[in-house]
Amino acid sequence: MKFYQLSPKQRRSILEQEGIELTEIDSDILNKLDQLSENVVSGMYLPVGVVQNLVVNHKKYIVPMVTEEPSVVAAANHAAKIFAQNGGSVSVSQRDGIYGQIVMKITSDFNLKDLKKEIPNLIKKVNIKFSSLVKHGGGLQSIEMVKKDARQFNEDGELLFVKVLVDPAAAMGANKVNSILEFLKDTLLSFPEVQEKLFAILSNYPSQLTTAKVELDPDTVGGMEVAKRICLLSAIAEDDIYRAVTNNKGIMNGVDGVLLATGQDFRAIEAAVGVFASRSGKYRSLSQWRIKNDKLIGELTLPMAIGVVGGSIKARNDVQQSFDILGQDITVGELANVITTIGLANNLSAVLAISTVGIQAGHMRLQARNIVADLDANHIEKNKIVQELVKNKNYTKEFAIQILNELRGNN
């Protein structure tokens, strides 16, 4: 049998015979993980932290975040508290649909004008075939067609590019869009001038845009001078790519944490965000901070192709736990609003730290926690050691052991 055809236990046995030491894992958990991926031999576990009081559109949420970096959760909580003091965020989710693309080879006799006349019929035919999606409020929304000379791709002949927009309702929609594209591709192949399909697949181009906005009293961030410094950092990130990419990484620290917790395709969001940040032709900051009418105003827009049904969401108990925390009745639009607001919160905490004490302090506290993680010490001892490491700004394992010995009265 091939490796992928073996049971997880058999795969583990092969690796162990090669001298690889694998961590112990419950067999039931291992078998469940095997249903989610390929060639499974073990599992990894990440902590689930929460943001306690995120206010979005006058509604309070407890938000789960999956990340190994405690400063990300702490930063989100810190900014969420500031947001709440100022009434929270106002957020709007525009969920028109996600894109799909078909590219086909066509003959020299192909008449684009004639095929475009068939677009209403094609949309109707697809939506009849996928009537269950239509019943849930979704369906194929539009079809656009463009003919291109294949020579620009170092190929003879001509190509037909078909772009579709599909409303996936409450799902992220990748599987449904791909199914629609395959059906539409087969229909197009019935036209005599259409020769063959090159590909038919969804596009992760930015869609389903969500905007979160906050208006803050400068006193809640440390005063007007701090607010002005935040705006200066924002302006620099608009112009300087080195600052922009780090600014955006800080935003995605929080966004990815919630995407992971709620079972989303965070890789698709990351890819779309990269394109969206470059939409002007230059890579820029995703967020903007400015002062208007003596208020510090922050705004963030993100592509947010997510779902609250579909995929593995209902099949995973850990993801369902996250929805229990958020509220099982949360809509896909509300979840998009929450995630984007978390991104803005993490952004505020980062630029606020840079504008005041510097961000390194939080990172070094994380370093201190990592140093003591594998010490043979109890929870109280570890907390005291972390405090001493930070106080003395000495982040070495040797100093941590010295403190532990002093706590225990050892020489």
Catalytic residue annotation: 69, 249, 265, 363
Contact in structure between 313 and 260 (CB atoms under 8 Å): no
Taking CB atoms within 8 Å and a gap of at least 24, the contacts of 117-120 are: 119/143, 119/145
| C-alpha closest to that of 165 among 193, 191, 127 | 127
Distance of CA 229 to the CA centre of its chain: 28
Residue where the block lists tokens 């001493």: 388
| C-alpha closest to that of 46 among 311, 258, 222 | 258
Concatenating the DSSP letter of every residue in 133-160 gives HHHTT-EEEEEEEEEEEGGGGT-SSEEE
Burial of 335: CB neighbours in 10 Å, binned 0-12, 13-18, 19+: buried
Report the SS3 class of residue 256.
Answer: helix
Contact in structure between 172 and 307 (CB atoms under 8 Å): yes
Distance CA(186)–CA(251), nearest Å, equals: 41
Amino acid sitting at position 229: R
Cβ-based neighbour number of residue 248 at 10 Å: 24
Which residues make beta-bridge pairs with 295?
292
